Amino acid sequence: MEMKQLLVPVDFSDCSEYALEVAAQLARKLNGTITIFHMMGVSESVLAKSELYEQEEAKYYMNLAKEKINEYTNKSYLMGIPVKTVIQNYKVFEEVNKVAQEQQIDLIVMGSHGSRGFSRLFVGSNTEKVVRSAEVPVLVIKKPHHDFKVENVVFACDLEAENRAAFQKALDFSNLFNAELQLVYINTEGSNFLNSRQIAEKVADFTSIIGNSHKVNIYHDFSVEQGIFNFAESISANMVVIPTHGRKGIAHFFKGSIGEKMANTVKLPLMTIKI
């Protein structure tokens, strides 16, 4: 799994810069390149005006975007890293995947403005829209990481066979950094609760697919989201990776477990890998 070509969507917010700085550290570590992508989002009301007015207006917004992107490309942490920029008049966040395909991107790194709980980080947000449509992994960054580390990574899934490819990608990514990858299954109370025998069967089935050398951690909690981050905190993980189901969105991974039970702000970097 190569991570040479990184795409960073920017809206010139602080979160965008957090993502760009992390992307720079990854690119420097992996001898990669960065493509900075900005969506102008010029409204249809502007485009509906006269052709001359349209050209002048579009030129104004393009120049403004170029000026702002130049501020980004001149950041000291980007020195020595090949960087190119793409500016498009897209307004739909699913278009990020189109740019990723055109630029042969390996990883999308983007900031998130989400602030409360795991579900709010995604559901209904622009981040969710990118995650749903992206064919490549997406790394979500929520705070500054001036010294970004990939040393202890958590891969959380429901141990179904369809997660095999996502697990392998997470393992390949971890290996790029000689990082430890911890596989975890969150056992929740209620209708999704599994007894010891059921868990043992589930673990045996999944490890027979991915290789019996991989240990599966079992963590019990009130919800999947709470369990993931409590487990990650307990082992001092610095990244979480989860599989997603594309069009079904992040909610499918959690099934009935999404709840506003997580009181703390999600701060860990989170990578999603489409099944």
> Could you say which architecture CATH assigns to the domain 149-275?
3-Layer(aba) Sandwich (3.40)
User: Alpha-carbon distance 137 to 7, whole Å?
Assistant: 11
Delimit the CATH 3.40.50.620 region(s) of the chain: 1-144, 149-275
User: Alpha-carbon distance 176 to 190, whole Å?
Assistant: 39
Q: Give 19's contacts (C-beta < 8 A, 6+ positions apart).
A: 8, 9, 10, 109, 110, 111, 139, 141
User: Alpha-carbon distance 66 to 43, whole Å?
Assistant: 18
Which of 272, 216, 221 minimizes the C-alpha distance to 248? Answer: 272
Segments in the chain below pLDDT 70: 1, 41-55, 58, 90-92, 114-125, 246-266
User: Alpha-carbon distance 140 to 118, whole Å?
Assistant: 12
State residue 96's pLDDT score.
Answer: 87
State residue 12's pLDDT score.
Answer: 85
1-144 is a CATH 3.40.50.620 domain: yes
Q: What is the pTM of this model?
A: 0.86
State residue 137's pLDDT score.
Answer: 94
State residue 211's pLDDT score.
Answer: 86
State residue 125's pLDDT score.
Answer: 67
